[in-house]
A and B are shown apart, each in its own frame.
Chain A
Amino acid sequence: MVKKEEFEIRRKRFQTFIRRLRRNSLSFGASIVILAITLIAIFAPLIAPYDPNATDANQAMLSVSRHHLMGTDIYGRDVLSRVIHGARVDLLVALVATLIALGISSFLGSLSGYAGGWLDHLLMRIIDTIMSFPSFILAMGITAALGNNLVNVVIAIAITHIPIYTRLIRGEMLHIREREYAEAARTVGNPTSRIIFYHLLPNCFPPVIVQATLAMGWAILTVAGLSFIGLGIQPPASEWGYMTAEGATYIVSGEWWIFLFPGLAIMVTVLAFNMVGDALRDILDPRMRGVS
């Protein structure tokens, strides 16, 4: 009898999971797209038909064909292979930057929200300062100051994203710390650090998850944008923004494929991230019930 009840509960949970996914069909589709892009990024060397850095003057500026599904660029490099490898760079930068930002923000935001007082005031003023700069300009400034390489782009993006997450987490924390289970955690004898980081912080995450997926999209745009203007990634690295910049000069002369495909890659990826937020939040929330 015990086993049967257990089975029932598991079955119910699974059904709810599927139901949620199906209801957010758009997000579901978007998550498939992201999964695909991630796999492409991971297995890039195996999937790409050519070496993305292999130049071949004879094959330069070829339009879309059976041999080169996305054509070749001015140096004869296969655009498709470069786009595939570009996924690695863009996704990795966006992901690492987001994770770093989340890590730091979780700590700062929860501390700020729970403790209140002068600590909260101080942190919020610092956050305000960062937020007063348009984020892209700030990213430009940081990258230019630290130097043009991948690591610094990651740092720049992380810094520009910290304010958003910190504020969100702080806001949730302000709300949650008044709840009775926070009080209960204290009466049971938890030290304050455990109350904040083990009990309350995980419950702050749902809105942050949605924000994080949106922010991933922005992060990719920022990487691409920085490379587009010549900061950050250096050639000959395949990176979508840089490739789009290269291809932009050839629009007028008619070689449309050089900018279009990397541009499309950026668009599809960012769109997918924008749409996946809802589904991800629902899946991670233990509380959401199925109501039709």
Chain B
Amino acid sequence: MNPPLLHIEDLTVHFHTDEGIVEAVDGIQLLVPAGEIVGIVGESGSGKSVTALSILRLIRKPGRIVQGAIRFAGRNLLDLTEEEMRHLRGSHISMIFQSPRTSLNPVLAAGWQIERLIRLHKQEKAKDAREQAVQMIRQVGIPAPERIYHEYPHQLSGGMCQRIMIAMALVTNPKLLIADEPTTGLDVSIAAQILDLLKEMGQRTGATILLITHDLGVVAGYCDRVAVMHAGQVVESASVKKLFRQPLHPYTIKLIHSVPRVDVDMVMETIPGNVPGLIHPPPGCRFADRCQWVMEICRKTRPPVQSLDGDHLVACYHIGNS
């Protein structure tokens, strides 16, 4: 395994709402080795998007990063000043979002949005910046880049918009690219193209990719490592092969069995119960109420993270007892 480019330690994020404090992320740990594609998979409310935003320190009131460390290339991002963070955003760490059409500025031409970034971060002359932008559009697989440069987001399809977003994210050669559900809302075939592009660009530029998704199929097809999140906690993380071959956490097991597959016939299982509320979360394991192997201790104290084979981490008391 490569040395970690990103190391999240004990990150906790709370949101202070009228109804109480939402403990959105609860002491998570995440290791992202350089050059790999790491996935964070979880359902809505699992805290995966909040984690992503925390890395870039984009959490605003009423959210607060309560504790933890986010080490990126040696430095703890939570210690940096806003000025220093701004320097990192968009150049060393980039992010793309879902709904590409709404993430792009509707009143600016697509190519110009890329060029602006080049001028801002690389301080190129106008002519060079323009050429680089067109090059970038070509690199993300859009034909006739000179024409597309002048088009506006509403004139482009969803897939094209997402390619533009990827171009914008990669034009500054970031070390880390965070992709937050980049294919939600896109058609199956377009989504596959976008993910292929992401993987290819990652290999070409050497960027490390943090891919956030709710789709296990995407994880299986594109990620090297994956962390599974449930109700604000990381319940299991491992290499993708190990996770699917031998899932250890009850949630992971149930999740894998609840996804219908096109290639094999299967019996679809459901996960009983619901995700617990995050305002007064249960003290122990947050999956306890939904787990068929639950024991007394699960409800009382949070299971510690165990490490099997070095890089397969699980937070569950049941492991080793089966």
Contacts and interface: CB of A to CB of B under 8 A. Distances in A.
B50 to A, nearest CB: 16
Nearest to B16: A292
Nearest to A289: B18
Nearest to B61: A292
Interface in A23-57: none
Contacts of A291: 17-18, 62
12 contacts: A16-B18, A19-B18, A290-B17, A290-B18, A290-B19, A291-B17, A291-B18, A291-B62, A292-B16, A292-B17, A292-B18, A292-B62
A79 B19 CA distance: 50
A16 to B, nearest CB: 8
Which 8 A-B pairs have CB atoms at the shortest separation, nearest pair first?
A290-B18, A292-B18, A19-B18, A292-B62, A291-B17, A292-B17, A291-B18, A292-B16
A290 B18 CA distance: 6
Nearest to A292: B18
A161 B48 CA distance: 51
Contacts of B17: 290-292
Interface residues of A, number: 5
Contacts of B16: 292
Interface string A7-26: 00000000010010000000
Nearest to B19: A290
Contacts of B19: 290
Find the residue from A16, A290, A292 having the highest chain B CB count within 10 A.
Answer: A292
A209 to B, nearest CB: 23
Interface string B58-97: 0000100000000000000000000000000000000000
Interface string A269-292: 000000000000000000000111
Interface residues of B, number: 5
A16 B17 CA distance: 12
Interface in A124-141: none
Contacts of B18: 16, 19, 290-292
B158 to A, nearest CB: 20
Contacts of A292: 16-18, 62
A289 to B, nearest CB: 8
Contacts of A19: 18
Given A290-B17, A290-B18, A291-B17, 4 more contacts: A19-B18, A290-B19, A291-B62, A292-B62
A290 B22 CA distance: 14
Contacts of A16: 18
Contacts of A290: 17-19
Nearest to A20: B18
B169 to A, nearest CB: 30
A26 B149 CA distance: 49
Nearest to A16: B18
A16 B18 CA distance: 9
A292 B16 CA distance: 8
A19 B17 CA distance: 12
Interface in B107-122: none
A292 B20 CA distance: 10
B203 to A, nearest CB: 42
A291 B18 CA distance: 6
A102 B90 CA distance: 51
A221 to B, nearest CB: 37
Nearest to A23: B18
Nearest to A19: B18
Find the residue from A16, A19, A291 having the highest chain B CB count within 10 A.
Answer: A291
Interface string B5-20: 0000000000011110
Contacts of B62: 291-292
A157 B207 CA distance: 67
A292 B21 CA distance: 11
Interface string A69-102: 0000000000000000000000000000000000
A12 B163 CA distance: 45
Nearest to B18: A290
Interface string B201-223: 00000000000000000000000
A140 B85 CA distance: 62
B59 to A, nearest CB: 15
B138 to A, nearest CB: 38
A20 to B, nearest CB: 10
Interface in B1-44: 16-19
B293 to A, nearest CB: 27
A292 B62 CA distance: 7
A16 B19 CA distance: 9
A128 B141 CA distance: 51
A19 B18 CA distance: 8
A75 to B, nearest CB: 56
Nearest to A12: B19
Find the residue from B16, B19, B62 having the highest chain A CB count within 10 A.
Answer: B19
A258 to B, nearest CB: 50
A291 B16 CA distance: 9
A292 to B, nearest CB: 5
A19 B19 CA distance: 10
A291 B62 CA distance: 9
A97 to B, nearest CB: 38
B48 to A, nearest CB: 21
Interface in B244-302: none
A138 to B, nearest CB: 38
